[in-house]
């Protein structure tokens, strides 16, 4: 095992990785921007190093500064967390050249799966259903129209370098397709400096189901079951749960096996997530792979009892996962609510500020992952997520009751948060019956 690693991230995920390190006897080096100098994760690390001003481009996204921080502190490995540089294949290459272990997949696997067209082709090769669409890149509006008429409207234009909802456009007929194509290309060129596009049949009102996988360097590939992440607003997840309440054992097994075929074909190593859309008839379609640990990983940790961050470190250090698939069990139901410092009454505008009162919930079945405490500053420079409340119970009904109880206990003052929105969802008739799709928030919550 490593004796010392650097965490190229901030906030709750930096703290989450520090905790795993300390339980494993690994020293953790934190990096911080000027905005984060008083943050608790910085104090809890064994060593901390300032990497620049508050803007992410000059700190958490700045590769030379992070590599320098690892070199001066003698860190053997870098954990990228999520966001920032976590899915940057170039960063992985630089780590490799500098002799620093990247706690994640190889740059090659990141690159192939980061290209959504290549990822689609890869999934098809191993007989994993993909959404009907173009075989590769579409280079002209005429080509897009031809394919759209073959697969039928509605269609969705996506950026090959996209993911997470950016650079996508839906079209319902030939005329709107022309505009969608041009808009998607322009957006992709700005957002990803890559205007490559592809086209898929637009699955109407799908559910979003993702499979957690883990592969070691010996090729032992295991799944840790699925999460349902259907409750989203503008591509930001609000509530995640496991298991997906509408999967039966047979479909669950099929999805998990399909996910493993995809990551094996990519020679993937470390933790990853394979995303699927589920249509009204429960047909499933591969859409993309997230080559990082995700925000919602605690949901899977609660239902499987496995510490995914510890597995990430062990795998990166070359250890084999001494488990067989049949030894990974799923127990009960876990839910996660993401709490953001946003004002739902003002179109979810960010609410930065100093926290005067912070009383997180506790009690049986409740886990709170947060980097905040009384006196913390919520900075305007970064993501507005301030806490994750995770509950684990025997069944979905009890999990919902525990989550409602926990959210009502939670006091965060004086800023506005998304707690009331989560509570509204948890009382909604359709949510209780799990008759939801990805448009639920827009349609039911205004
Ligand atoms: C889709 C889709 C419908 N049909 N692809 C959004 C994020 C990115 N990961 C893929 N996304 C979608 N791709 C086809 N062919 C609908 C979405 C989508 C969505 C997916 C999951 C969760 C929430 C969503 C909200 C809007 C659109």
The length of the chain is 446
Tell me, using a 6 A CB cutoff, whether residue 232 lines ligand 1.
yes
Low-confidence ranges of the chain (pLDDT < 50): none
d(CA 183, CA 239): 30
**pTM assigned to the model:** 0.97
CATH 3.30.470.20 residue ranges in the chain? 207-444
Phi, psi at 270, each rounded to 5°: 90, -165
Distance of CA 389 from the midpoint of ligand 1 (Å): 25
Q: Which of 235, 275, 436 to mutate to test the pocket of ligand 1 (most atoms within 8 A of CB)?
A: 235
d(CA 291, CA 115): 12
Domain at 207-444: CATH architecture: 2-Layer Sandwich (3.30)
Tell me, using a 6 A CB cutoff, whether residue 202 lines ligand 1.
yes
pLDDT at site 340: 98
Mode of pairing for the β-strands spanning 377-378 and 353-354: antiparallel
pLDDT at site 167: 80
pLDDT at site 247: 98
- Quick one: fold of 132-201? Dna Ligase; domain 1 (3.30.1490)
Tell me, using a 6 A CB cutoff, whether residue 211 lines ligand 1.
no
CATH 3.40.50.20 residue ranges in the chain? 4-103
pLDDT at site 186: 92
pLDDT in tens, 233-280: 999 999 999 999 999 999 999 999 999 999 999 999 999 999 999 999
- Quick one: fold of 4-103? Rossmann fold (3.40.50)
Query: Taking the CA of residue 204 as centre, how many other CA atoms within 13 Å lie in the half-sphere pointing to its CB?
Result: 5
Enter the tokens of residue 244: 């997906």
**Nearest alpha-carbon partner for 379 in 47, 82, 33, 62:** 33
Cα distances (Å, whole numbers) of residue 166 to 39, 162, 203, 206, 234: 31, 6, 17, 18, 10
pLDDT at site 141: 93
> Known catalytic residues?
292
d(CA 345, CA 348): 7
């Amino acid at each position: 095992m490593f004796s010392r690693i650097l965490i190229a991230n901030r906030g709750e995920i930096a703290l989450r990785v520090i905790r795993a390190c300390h339980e494993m006897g690994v020293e953790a080096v934190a990096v911080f921007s000027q905005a984060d100098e008083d943050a608790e994760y910085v104090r809890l690390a064994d060593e901390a190093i300032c990497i620049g001003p508050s803007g992410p481009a000059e700190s958490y996204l700045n590769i030379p500064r992070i590599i320098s921080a690892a070199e001066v502190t003698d860190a053997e490995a870098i954990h990228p967390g999520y966001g920032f540089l976590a899915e940057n294949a170039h960063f992985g290459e630089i780590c490799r050249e500098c002799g620093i272990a990247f706690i994640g997949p190889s740059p090659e696997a990141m690159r192939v799966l980061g290209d959504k067209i290549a990822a689609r082709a890869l999934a098809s090769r191993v007989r994993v259903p993909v959404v009907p669409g173009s075989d590769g890149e579409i280079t002209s509006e005429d080509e897009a129209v031809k394919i759209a008429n073959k697969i039928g409207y509605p269609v969705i234009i996506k950026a090959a370098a996209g993911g997470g909802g950016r650079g996508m456009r839906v079209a319902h007929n030939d005329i709107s397709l022309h505009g969608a194509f041009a808009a998607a290309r322009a957006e992709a060129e700005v957002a990803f400096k890559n205007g490559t596009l592809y086209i898929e049949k637009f699955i109407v009102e799908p559910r979003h189901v993702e499979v957690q996988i883990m592969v070691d360097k010996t090729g032992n590939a295991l799944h840790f079951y699925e999460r349902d992440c259907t409750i989203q607003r503008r591509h930001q997840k609000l509530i995640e749960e496991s298991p997906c309440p509408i999967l039966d054992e047979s479909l669950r097994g099929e999805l998990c096996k399909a996910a493993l075929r995809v990551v094996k074909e990519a020679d993937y190593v470390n933790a990853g997530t394979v995303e699927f859309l589920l249509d009204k008839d429960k047909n499933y379609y591969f859409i993309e792979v997230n080559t990082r640990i995700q925000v919602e990983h605690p949901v899977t940790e609660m239902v499987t009892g496995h510490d995914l961050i510890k597995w990430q470190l062990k795998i990166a250090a070359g250890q084999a996962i001494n488990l067989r698939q049949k030894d990974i069990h799923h127990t009960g139901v876990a839910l996660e609510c993401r709490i953001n410092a946003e004002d739902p009454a003002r179109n979810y505008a960010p609410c930065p500020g100093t926290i005067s009162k912070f009383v997180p919930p506790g009690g049986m079945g409740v886990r709170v992952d947060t980097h905040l405490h009384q006196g913390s500053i919520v900075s305007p420079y970064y993501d507005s997520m301030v806490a994750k409340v995770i509950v684990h119970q025997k069944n979905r009904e009890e999990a919902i009751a525990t989550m409602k109880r926990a959210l009502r206990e939670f006091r965060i003052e004086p800023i506005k948060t998304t707690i009331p929105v989560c509570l509204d969802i948890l009382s909604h008739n359709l949510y209780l019956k799990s008759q939801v799709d990805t448009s639920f928030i827009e349609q039911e919550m205004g």
